[in-house]
Homo-oligomer: A and B are copies of this chain.
Amino acid sequence: MSSTFIGQKLRLSIFGQSHSAAIGMTLDGLPAGIEIDPDELQHFLNRRAPGQNDWSTPRKEEDRPDFLCGLKDGFTCGAPLTAVIHNNNTRPKDYSQLKITPRPGHADYTAEVKYRGFQDYSGGGHFSGRLTAPLCIAGGIVRQELRRHNITVDARIAAIAGIRDESAFEASVADKAFPVVDDEIGEQMRAAIQNAREDGDSVGGVIECVVRGLPVGVGEPMFDGVENQIARLIFAVPAVKGIEFGAGFEAAELRGSENNDPFLVKDGRIETAANHAGGILGGITNGMPVVFRAAVKPTPSISRAQQSVNLTTMEPQELRVTGRHDPCIVPRAVPVIEAAAALAVYDLILGESIWN
């Protein structure tokens, strides 16, 4: 497996399975002297944590990071920073059938083949959405540090089940239990989630993320551009099946004269009149907000009957997934997307050399 993100400076190692003794992360390459505000971090983690409201799984985990090393008096000390979350509310018996009857839309089958039967299938093992918790520890810390440099990373629900919130995304919605801009549309989304739950089904959605305050010149052409780097990290989030920057797929339908963002001078600074480029030209930030959207598929774990195959007999077998599942993971995925984006841009900034 390659659960180690190798960035320009950061190396983020994420470890754990859904039902192992602990899950966690080591973040190596963080400068010394970064303060970690534990309350703010906990608030960030709570936004992702399950069991807090009606649209998420009733499994309750506190998601309290236990820092094993890398900190001294609340500041990073230059050594790798490791935090673990102990798994204490595991119910491995829920998953015993999945080794021979893989869940559609899940990694059960591909893991069975790849790891030749040795994988830890309980709760999805290392493929579980639970592994986004350590990603949020790393990203939450980095997001704090970015804000100290006046760089903000904020995401919101842009759509659920086809219901779109097309309001402008000006201010953070991090304090909302349901992170949309337009709460009325949010109500419609929640109703759609509730309907899906009642049908033993699930829905997906789109998350939009905006990074403000980046200087001009972050990123590189070709393989280490801002888009490459963000995409590489965002596709580490389970269930993401697409990403677009700025106008994205819509840009493909525009003419150049519409899609090109005219340059202008505002307050003595170069800006662009629109932001179809999503803040990125040639892989490099242009000083405008970096904007992207990620498509999140509907949660594959649904209680409705589905068609699978018994891998032992190679006969068709109907499957009903039991256990605790979110009918929609989009709300909880919002801070995860922020975490991944924060790591992406922070690492690119750290990669800028003192001698450049």
Given known A105-B259, A254-B204, A350-B355, contact A78–B126 (CB-CB < 8 A)? yes
Q: Measured between alpha carbons, how far is A263 from B265 in the docked complex, in Å?
A: 55
Per a CB cutoff under 8 Å, which of B236, B243, B260 touches A306?
B260
> Bound complex: CA of A247 vs CA of B6, how far in Å?
29
A182 within 8 Å of B (CB atoms)? no
Instruction: Judge if A125 is at the interface, Cβ distance under 8 Å.
Output: yes
Interface-central residue, A116, A238, A355, by most chain B CB under 10 Å: A355
Given contacts A110-B285, A262-B306, A300-B260, A295 and B252 within 8 Å (CB-CB): yes
Interface string of A244-284 (1 = CB under 8 A from B): 11111101111111111111110010101100111001111
A246 and B257: CB pair below 8 A?
no
Which stretch, A57-65, A171-179, A217-225, touches the partner chain B?
A217-225
Q: Which residue of B lies closest to A285 (CB)?
A: B110
Nearest CB on B from A180, distance (A):
15
Taking the closest CB of chain B, its distance from the CB of A33, in whole angstroms, is 4
A254 near B298: Cβ-Cβ < 8 Å: yes
Mark interface residues in A225-237 (1 if CB within 8 Å of B CB, else 0): 1011001110110
Residue among B21, B127, B354 making CB contact with A69, cutoff 8 Å? B21
The answer to whether B33 and A79 touch across the interface, beta carbons within 8 angstroms, is no
- Whole-angstrom CA separation of A162 from B298 in the bound complex: 27
Chain A, interface residues (CB within 8 Å), range: 35 or more
How many copies are assembled?
4
Alpha-carbon gap, A102 to B272, bound state (A): 12
Contact pattern, A 68-91, Cβ under 8 Å of B = 1, otherwise 0: 111010011111111010000000
B282 pairs with A127, CB closer than 8 A: yes
A3: contacting residue among B3, B80, B205, CB under 8 A: B80
Smallest Cβ-Cβ distance to A216: which chain B residue: B113
A36 to B266, CA, bound (A): 38
Q: Are A196 and B251 in contact (CB-based, < 8 A)?
A: no
Which residues from chain B contact A223 at a C-beta distance below 8 Å?
2-6, 232-233, 236
**In the complex, which of the residues B9, B13, B260 contacts A353, with contact meaning CB atoms closer than 8 Å?**
B9
**CB-CB < 8 A to A268: which residues of B?**
314
Which chain A residues in 77-131 approach chain B with CB under 8 Å? 77-82, 84, 102-107, 109-111, 113-120, 125-127, 131
Asked if B2 and A222 sit within 8 Å, CB to CB, the answer is: yes
Asked whether A78 and B236 contact (CB < 8 A) given A204-B253, A298-B259, A350-B353, the answer is: no
How far in angstroms is the closest Cβ of chain B from A223?
Answer: 5
Please tell me if A159 contacts chain B, counting CB pairs below 8 Å: yes
Does A114 lie within 8 Å of B257, measured CB to CB? no
Q: Mark A129-149, 1 if CB is under 8 A from B, else 0.
A: 001000000000000000001
Inter-chain contact B79/A120, CB cutoff 8 Å: yes
12 A/B residue pairs, CB under 8 Å, sorted by A: A4-B223, A5-B223, A15-B28, A24-B68, A31-B353, A105-B281, A109-B216, A109-B270, A203-B256, A241-B249, A262-B307, A354-B356
Q: Given known contacts A4-B26, A111-B282, what 5 new A-B pairs fall within 8 Å (CB)? A: A5-B223, A114-B284, A159-B252, A161-B253, A203-B255
Which 7 interchain pairs have the tightest Cβ spacing?
Answer: A107-B282, A242-B244, A79-B126, A2-B224, A202-B256, A20-B69, A262-B307
